[in-house]
Amino acid sequence: MTKTSPVYIRLTEEDRVSLKHEAEHYGVTMTELIRQRILQQRLISKTDKDMIKELRRQGGLLKHIHNESKGAYSYKTKKMLDDMHVIILKLKGITNLNMIKAEEIG
């Protein structure tokens, strides 16, 4: 959906600088930060996004080892993949692992 309706706000210089630093932390523009805050969407820092990406890459490599070894290390690889999955969910801000929705995992 194309965003075409502008909204203008006034901020103190201190608030603007604070928002700018926070937007940089999350790797988004100030506009996107404000939009996500207003819509109460979850923000994930750029560092956490990079970590999630790397953990998924590592998980893919573990899955490859599991498949190539025909499951010879299945207990170890399953444990590592489960641990990685929990870490990714925590990075995404999902703390109650029993209440996970399928769309929050991906």
Give pLDDT tens digits along the chain (106 positions): 787 888 899 999 999 999 999 998 888 899 989 988 888 877 777 788 888 888 888 888 888 888 888 888 788 888 888 888 888 888 777 655 454 444 444 4
Residue 96 CA, chain-centre distance (Å), reads: 16
Asked whether the whole model's pTM tops 0.85, one would answer: no
| Both tokens assigned to 105 | 């995992």
What is the enclosing helix (H) or strand (E) of 28? none
What is the enclosing helix (H) or strand (E) of 55? helix 46-68
pLDDT on residue 99: 45
Query: How many Å apart are CA 30 and CA 51, to the nearest integer?
Result: 22
